[in-house]
Structure 1
Amino acid sequence: MHKSKTAVYEMMRPAEAPDHPLVEWQDSLTADEKSMLACINAGNFEPTTQFCKIGYQEVQGEVAFSMMHPCISYLLHSYSPFSEFKPTNSGFLKKLNQDYNDYHAKKNVY
């Protein structure tokens, strides 16, 4: 697993294995609700639900991030207030900046 990808996974879902299923349906959702969610999200739950609100996928060896539609997050009962999500975002940005700085420091050495 790529270094930055591993760091992000440890921060966003520390209790899970990296090969954890991409989507976990809430027990309270009916089949109709699941169908509606699939329709809203164009039937694709692959990268954008990996971290629920923030998803990633590898693009040419790098990690690309995407945001999940707020309606999907709400309907999956995973919404959290911004005040709770802000510290996670701050830590996330710090890790990405460190990875960026490490990349340029190593690039200049070679």
Structure 2
Amino acid sequence: MSEGAWRAGERQCAGCGERLRPEARPDAVYCSSACRARQWRREWRLRKRVAAELSGVGRAVCPECGDSWVAGVDRRSNAVYCSRKCVTRAWRARKETFGERSR
């Protein structure tokens, strides 16, 4: 018998790569419904990202640090800043300039 022949009947989950149970249905592709849902969400995000990249309208740039992201995929579609850190930094900068103006 050739090496690895005992593995010929083993199938792997298309989502996580784990081995499917021996009693799984012959047409089973995923090890669980959670794994199937996780894989579907992963593919959905990828399709959404590709569509946004191809259309060119999905790009957003953080005014504080210059970081760019795909709006509606990586972050909310109406997000202005890339992170809470940049939001805080911008708020502090606005607060300081306002305080200097009022003196």
TM-score (structure 2 length as normaliser): 0.29
Could you say which structure has the higher helix fraction?
1
TM-score (structure 1 length as normaliser): 0.27
User: Looking at CA atoms only, which structure, 1 or 2, has the larger radius of gyration?
Assistant: 2
Q: Which has the higher contact order (CA 8 A, sep 6+)?
A: 1
